[in-house]
Amino acid sequence: MRALLLGLLLSAATCPGGVRWGAVNSQPTEWYASDEARAMAANVIGYQQPAGGWPKNRDMTRPRLAEPAVPRAPGDPADPNAPTIDNGATTTQIEFLARVHTATGDAAAREAALRGIDYLLVAQYPNGGWPQFYPLRAGYYSRITYNDNAMTHVLEVLRGVRDARPPYAWADPARRKGAEFAIERAIDCLLKTQVRQDGRLLGWCAQHDENTLAPAWARNFEPPSLSGNESVALARFLMTIERPTPEVVAAIEGAVAWLEASRITGLRVETFTAADGERDRRAVADPSAPPLWARFYELGTNRPIFLGRDRVVRYDYNEIERERRLGYAYLGDWPQRLLERDYPQWRAKHGRKP
């Protein structure tokens, strides 16, 4: 098996192909049986870590290069290969390997995908949340991570496993049962972490404390707050529950009402060339602009807030530093499709009046 894997890795180094890693799970079904996909699967297996997950921000269309052996303790923050669910890591690899196995029957791809699924099941907290890194890292990495929809991506994989839907139709009964239990715990976590104010359910923070479940800090520019981005994916996931309980219905209705009330009108974000000749971005008044939502809303006041790397709360997007204006999405239209399409469809499906 090791000789076969090595052969595939070597062939991948010279295998021509144009599929980018970011598009690896959106190819035609027949592509997953191609030589290119099989070679890429060998690359992906080569990046898998002993814990079963994968590192982030790696182009796995290329083989993993030999690295000097550096002894590292589990959770070492300096480990560039630490497995995580951040930035689509681990969930992307599991889905890709599942597609390759479905198309080819490749046993190595199936085994690696199963190890990845087991990693997700083991990494879940008893309260139903997932940390950003597992084995755990000190600091915000161990918070329950909704940020960038990391936990939502995990739930999408586990839902496919639970239901044995393509590309997980081959999932065994034990994994399907494990996925079902994990999803049940995760839903309970979502209901408990939803922010409530003055008796009303609102949205979620991008990360919550793994012990108290309260909104929590991540990086200096990611404060305890209500998220106009991550709350969308969480509400959308709850809408996929076939037989929602009254608690789930209340959570969806609360989140949607909060998003409706939190839209920002008359503001447009534009990119321009500053006086120094460098690229910049700013928010400008525009009565005809479509609605926007803030990434962060202040707890208690629901005012849009903007923080740079100095951790100072500001209420004007244009007051944070240029590097963050260009490098982070503080304003966007994330809830638009949920409010205009997904929510009305959900209400119609469950016989709820408009």
Catalytic residue, candidates 176, 219, 309, 314: 219
Q: At what angle do helices 173-193 and 246-261 cross, to 10 degrees?
A: 50
Active site residue 38: no
Question: Are 24 and 96 spatial neighbours (Cβ–Cβ below 8 Å)?
Answer: yes
Report whether the peptide linkage leading into residue 135 is cis, meaning its omega lies within 30 degrees of zero.
yes
Strands (E) in 26-76, as ranges, are none
- How far is 90 from 117, CA to CA, in rounded Å? 9
Active site residue 57: no
Strands (E) in 17-67, as ranges, are none
Report whether the peptide linkage leading into residue 167 is cis, meaning its omega lies within 30 degrees of zero.
yes
Return the bridge partners of 84, or none: 133
Question: Are 43 and 62 spatial neighbours (Cβ–Cβ below 8 Å)?
Answer: yes
User: Which helix H or strand E contains 47, and what residues bound it?
Assistant: helix 35-47
Catalytic residue, candidates 87, 185, 263, 302: 87
Question: Are 202 and 195 spatial neighbours (Cβ–Cβ below 8 Å)?
Answer: yes
Q: Which whole-number Å values give the CA distances from 154 to 115, 119, 151, in the listed order?
A: 14, 11, 5
Q: Which residues are annotated as catalytic?
A: 87, 219
